[in-house]
Amino acid sequence: MINNEVVPQKNNPLHGTPLKTILETLVEQYGWEELASRIRINCFKENPSINSSLVFLRRTPWAREKVEKLYLRGVAHE
């Protein structure tokens, strides 16, 4: 931070993008079923919800990384 301003992180394209926004975008784009087939984690298969998935993704770095990579691939193609 410089003078209370947020300095963008050039090497982090997700800087400033909340995990909830990422997940909501993916669910809107793919739906839960397709998302579960692309990223095989139970929180997308068994009674999926944004809140339960957020809890899991915040506690599970490898799963969050997969979600972020899928999001970046989708954003890059828009």
> pTM to 2 decimals?
0.79
Q: What is the pLDDT of residue 12?
A: 77
- 72 vs 3: CA distance, rounded Å: 30
pLDDT tens-digit readout, 32-61: 999 999 999 999 999 999 999 999 999 999
In this structure, which topology does domain 19-76 adopt according to CATH? 1.10.720
Count other C-beta atoms under 10 Å from residue 31's C-beta. Answer: 12
Tell me phi and psi for residue 3, to 5 degrees. Answer: 50, 45
What are the structural domain ranges in the chain? 19-76
Q: Please give the average per-residue pLDDT across 52-77, as a whole number.
A: 91
- 17 vs 22: CA distance, rounded Å: 7
